[in-house]
Amino acid sequence: MTDRSASPDGRRGGLEDSPFSYREGKDGRVVISWRGRQAMIFKGAQAASFLKRANGLDEAQLQLTMAKITGNFKRGNEKGR
């Protein structure tokens, strides 16, 4: 699997330490992790769409995209994890 972590500066302070990463598996799956914990798995067309989208992003944009996709940082209770 290929692992890609990002290191953005984060606009609101929640992403500057790069909590998100993703791994691309040989079977075509993409696993998004938050602080090393599996947050979401994509297969098939969803995985291909995510990879296409991720390839054109800088590191800060990639972190924000993964946060939005997984739904983290919307509720405000993720800070203490």
Region 50-74: mean pLDDT is: 88
Structural domain includes residue 74: no
Residue 12 pLDDT level (bands cut at 50, 70, 90)? low
Structural domain includes residue 76: no
Residue 80 pLDDT level (bands cut at 50, 70, 90)? very low
Give the pLDDT confidence score for residue 53 in this predicted structure: 93
Structural domain harbouring 15: 2-68
Q: What is the DSSP letter of 11?
A: S
Beta bridge partners of 33: 21, 38
Region 30-48: mean pLDDT is: 94
Residue 26 pLDDT level (bands cut at 50, 70, 90)? confident
Structural domain includes residue 49: yes
Structural domain includes residue 39: yes
Structural domain includes residue 62: yes
- Furthest-apart CA atoms within the chain: distance in Å: 35
Q: Name which residue leads in pLDDT, 20 or 6.
A: 20
